[in-house]
Structure 1
Amino acid sequence: MPREESDVRRNDSIIPCFICVELVIMVGTVLLTYYLEFTDIFSVHRQGFFCFDSTYTKPYPGPEETSLLPPVLLQSLASAVPMTTIAFGELAAFVFQAELVREERTIVTADCCSLNPLLRRVVRFLGVYAFGLCTTDIFVNAGQVVTGSPAPHFMTVCQPNYTALGCQLSTQFISSENACTGSPGVVSSARRAFPCKDSALTMYAAVYTVMYVTIMFQAKGTRLTKPMLCLTILCLTFLTGVVRVSEFRSHWSDVLVGFLTGGAVAVFLVCCVLHNFKSLNSSQENPRNVREPVCVKLALPCVESPLEKLSVIQNRSVAFSEGT
Structure 2
Amino acid sequence: MLYFQMVIMAGTVMLAYYFEYTDTFAVNVQGFFCHDSAYRKPYPGPEDSSAVPPALLYSLAAGVPALVIIVGETAVFCLQLATRDFENQEKTILTGDCCYINPLVRRTVRFLGIYTFGLFATDIFVNAGQVVTGNLAPHFLALCRPNYTALGCQQLTQFISGEEACTGDPELVLRARKTFPSKEAALSVYAAVYLTMYITSTIKAKGTRLAKPVLCLGLLCLAFLTGLNRVAEHRNHWSDVIAGFLVGTSIAVFLVVCVVSNFRGRHPESEHARPADLAHAPMISIPRVESPLEKNHITAFAEVT
TM-score by length of 2: 0.85
- Residue of structure 2 equivalent to 1:80: 63
**Distance in 2 separating the partners of 1:283 and 1:202:** 39
**Distance in 2 separating the partners of 1:241 and 1:283:** 46
Q: CA RMSD in A?
A: 2.2
Deviation (angstroms), 1:223: 1.6
Which secondary structure state, in structure 1, belongs to the residue aligned with residue 263 of structure 2? coil
Contact 1:82–1:205 (CA under 8 A) maintained in structure 2: yes
Deviation (angstroms), 1:177: 2.5
1:150 paired with 2:136, answer yes
Contact 2:200–2:212 (CA under 8 A) maintained in structure 1: yes
Contact 1:93–1:101 (CA under 8 A) maintained in structure 2: no
- Residue of structure 2 equivalent to 1:263: 249
Deviation (angstroms), 1:144: 0.4
Contact 2:77–2:86 (CA under 8 A) maintained in structure 1: no
1:51 paired with 2:34, answer yes
1:287 paired with 2:270, answer no
**Distance in 2 separating the partners of 1:224 and 1:116:** 32
Aligned in 2, Cα 1:100/1:45: closer, same or farther, shift over 3 Å? farther
- Residue of structure 2 equivalent to 1:33: 16
Deviation (angstroms), 1:102: 4.8
Contact 1:107–1:116 (CA under 8 A) maintained in structure 2: no
Which secondary structure state, in structure 1, belongs to the residue aligned with residue 93 of structure 2? strand
Given candidates 8, 32, 46, the residue that maps to 1:63 is: 46
**Deviations along 1:100-131, whole A, 9 cap, x unmatched?**
66522242425653212111111111110000
Aligned in 2, Cα 1:22/1:284: closer, same or farther, shift over 3 Å? farther
Stretches of structure 1 lacking an aligned partner (at least 5 in a row): 1-16, 291-319
**Deviations along 1:176-220, whole A, 9 cap, x unmatched?**
221001000000000011000000001000000000000111111
Aligned in 2, Cα 1:284/1:240: closer, same or farther, shift over 3 Å? farther
1:125 paired with 2:111, answer yes
Contact 1:151–1:193 (CA under 8 A) maintained in structure 2: yes
Aligned in 2, Cα 1:253/1:107: closer, same or farther, shift over 3 Å? same
Structure with the larger helix share: 2
- Residue of structure 1 equivalent to 2:239: 253
Given candidates 252, 275, 279, the residue that maps to 2:261 is: 275
**Distance in 2 separating the partners of 1:236 and 1:203:** 9
1:18 paired with 2:2, answer yes
1:212 paired with 2:195, answer no
Contact 1:103–1:281 (CA under 8 A) maintained in structure 2: yes
Stretches of structure 2 lacking an aligned partner (at least 5 in a row): 277-287, 289-305
1:115 paired with 2:101, answer yes
**Distance in 1 separating the partners of 2:271 and 2:7:** 32
**Distance in 1 separating the partners of 2:274 and 2:9:** 40
Aligned in 2, Cα 1:221/1:277: closer, same or farther, shift over 3 Å? same
Q: Percent identity?
A: 59
**Distance in 1 separating the partners of 2:113 and 2:45:** 35
**Distance in 1 separating the partners of 2:269 and 2:200:** 20
- Residue of structure 2 equivalent to 1:243: 229
**Distance in 2 separating the partners of 1:152 and 1:129:** 32
**Deviations along 1:115-160, whole A, 9 cap, x unmatched?**
1211111111111000000000000001001110000000110001
Shifted more, 189-198 versus 215-224: the winner is: 215-224
1:184 paired with 2:170, answer yes
**Distance in 2 separating the partners of 1:35 and 1:284:** 49
**Deviations along 1:29-83, whole A, 9 cap, x unmatched?**
0011111111112121110001110110000011111111111110110000111
**Distance in 1 separating the partners of 2:177 and 2:269:** 48
Greater radius of gyration (CA): 2
